[in-house]
Amino acid sequence: MIEYITTRTLENSKGEAKGKVRILKLKEEENAKIEFKCPECGYDGKWDEKWGEPFVQGSGINQKFIIKCKNCNFSIKISKLKKEIKKKSA
């Protein structure tokens, strides 16, 4: 069962959309699966991230995800979209 899934285009520090990320969290698993292409350095990787701080911050409508590039430490904050919140509470 999917608890949360999102795919986003990521912009680098110059505002160019060169990267992307997918976050997938299954209800039966403890960690989220991250697929990441860094918009800043081009690093491409997959890893598991603990579903909690510092990766997940806040809760409900204010929940944010902090993704850090494993190569260059470029940090990206992803906010939940309104439609994703609606879907979850429905």
Whose Cβ is closer to Zn ion: residue 33's or residue 68's?
A: 68
Positions touching Zn ion (CB under 5 A) are 38, 40-41, 43, 69, 71-72, 74
- In our burial notation (b when 16+ CB lie closer than 10 A, e otherwise), range 14-39 reads eeeebbebebbbeeeeeebebebbbb
Whose Cβ is closer to Zn ion: residue 26's or residue 41's?
A: 41
Whose Cβ is closer to Zn ion: residue 40's or residue 49's?
A: 40
Q: Smallest distance from the beta carbon of 67 to Zn ion, in angstroms?
A: 10
φ, ψ for residue 83, nearest 5 deg: -65, -30
Q: Smallest distance from the beta carbon of 49 to Zn ion, in angstroms?
A: 16
Q: Smallest distance from the beta carbon of 40 to Zn ion, in angstroms?
A: 5
Closest CA to 72 of 52, 32, 34, 45: 45
